[in-house]
Amino acid sequence: ETGAVTLDPGFKNSGACKSEITFLDGEEGILRYRGYSIEQLASQSNFLEVSYLLIFGELPTKEQITKFETDIRKYTLVNEEMKNIIDGFPKNAHPMGILASLTSALTAFNPQPVNVAVEAELYDAVCKTMGKFLVIATWTFRKNMGYPLNYYDNTKGYVENFMRLMFELPTGPYEKNETIVNALDKLFILHADHEQNCSTSTVRIVGSSHAGLFASISAGVSALWGPLHGGANQAVLEMLEEIQANGGDADKYLAKAKDKNDPFRLMGFGHRVYKNFDPRAKIIKKAADDVLEALGVDDPILLIAKKLEEAALEDEYFKSRNLYPNVDFYSGIIYRALGIPTEMFTVLFAIGRLPGWIAQWKEMRVNKEPIGRPRQIYTGHPLREFVPQDAR
């Protein structure tokens, strides 16, 4: 019940780590941040509060969260010279590639290493990362659209600023839409942390060499980009759009996914840990219905997604392999309804996952964990004598 596991003697070199941040039970479909269920956090909390919980270990008081938001605002201005870097990218560069580069470039403008033993220094680094990452993440979209780069408005909330930074143009203000801001806030909570997934493990292992927080987060962005990981939310929408363009025949794509000679996989299905339903997928599916109804969006893609899900959940191949919809299956449908372009979906995943990456990096450094050094099972040649070139 406490989630305690017995660590085998080889634990130290097993690549596994101990953490107090997130508990997952893949069989029971349980996800908890610092002991609180994802269901309660998604329905009763907000993204900045959950970020504080993940990073500092407790739900904040009113004073603490007000101070946290105020302190993040100290760092929401990004050095103008960072624009020279983004201008170096071709217009159609993928936003995740730009984001990984800009995140790493933040080190150049904040070169002072963080002394994690000094609480105030670590706290400032957390606020700086939360403040600057959101801005540069939206710059990737602005660049792609040929829009001027926007600035954070310190009089508005964190998630509302995301929509402003993305869509506000010099020609007029962004009109806040509560439904959209609330839906995004919930989605960011659902993406905030997920134990030792591929990108979080990357952040931890890069940070374990005492590389800086920006450098470690940049590595996490690159890992998340992959279509088997965070890139799946973009791949799901592209798959659904392809099914729609080909007459909406879900069964044809199920057959492709089961064909071992076909590399096609049903994007948004399956998981390394959840061998039952992904609790986040259930919440997002409900949110998709609510958001599309609230916005009056009748998206046929949602019907294709539901048809595909129903068919897969009935299919022996998928049932026998415990393949269920994961967090990425429905999230893209909501992002699309909110006017977010497909190639930005994984950037939104990164914005949501940022507090988890920070929390895990901080835990690893504060606990003085040794440098990551996974071992291997050697399957190559036994010892052999060198052969001179003319004898090969």
Q: Which residues are known to be catalytic?
A: 271, 328
> From the CB of 182, what's the least distance to ligand SDX, in Å?
21
User: In this complex, which beta carbon is closest to ligand SDX, that of residue 141 or of residue 357?
Assistant: 357
Which of 374, 266, 354 has its CA nearest to residue 317? 266
Which of 223, 195, 215 has its CA nearest to residue 96? 223
Query: In angstroms, rounded to a whole number, what is the distance separating the alpha carbons of residues 51 and 31?
Result: 16
> Rule CB under 6 A: which of 232-251 touch ligand SDX?
232
Candidates 15-23, 61-69, 179-187, 259-267; binding stretch for ligand SDX (CB under 6 A)? 259-267
Task: Indicate whether 139 belongs to the interface with ligand SDX (CB under 6 A).
Answer: no
Chain centroid offset of residue 228 CA: 12
Task: Indicate whether 257 belongs to the interface with ligand SDX (CB under 6 A).
Answer: yes
Q: Is 336 left (phi over 0), alpha (psi -120 to 50) or beta?
A: alpha
User: In this complex, which beta carbon is closest to ligand SDX, that of residue 262 or of residue 293?
Assistant: 262
> Rule CB under 6 A: which of 308-367 touch ligand SDX?
321, 323, 326-328
4 Cβ neighbours under 8 A, 6+ residues apart:
none
What is the size of the binding site for ligand SDX (CB under 6 A)?
20
Query: In angstroms, rounded to a whole number, what is the distance separating the alpha carbons of residues 203 and 104?
Result: 12
Task: Indicate whether 265 belongs to the interface with ligand SDX (CB under 6 A).
Answer: yes
User: In this complex, which beta carbon is closest to ligand SDX, that of residue 24 or of residue 98?
Assistant: 24
Q: Give the 3-state secondary structure of residue 368.
A: coil
> From the CB of 54, what's the least distance to ligand SDX, in Å?
13
Task: Indicate whether 83 belongs to the interface with ligand SDX (CB under 6 A).
Answer: no
Candidates 179-187, 267-275, 335-343, 366-374; binding stretch for ligand SDX (CB under 6 A)? 267-275
* 279 neighbors 31 (Cβ within 8 angstroms): yes
Candidates 126-134, 237-245, 264-272, 374-382; binding stretch for ligand SDX (CB under 6 A)? 264-272
User: In this complex, which beta carbon is closest to ligand SDX, that of residue 22 or of residue 76?
Assistant: 22
Task: Indicate whether 188 belongs to the interface with ligand SDX (CB under 6 A).
Answer: no
Burial class (CB in 10 A: 0-12, 13-18, 19+), 206: buried
> Rule CB under 6 A: which of 283-302 touch ligand SDX?
none
Task: Indicate whether 103 belongs to the interface with ligand SDX (CB under 6 A).
Answer: no
Helix (H) or strand (E) holding 70: helix 62-73
Q: Give the 3-state secondary structure of residue 172.
A: strand
Q: Is the dihedral angle over the CA atoms 226, 137, 21, 12 positive or is it negative? A: positive
Q: Where along the sequence are the contacts to ligand SDX (CB under 6 A)?
A: 194, 197, 228-229, 232, 257, 265-273, 321, 323, 326-328
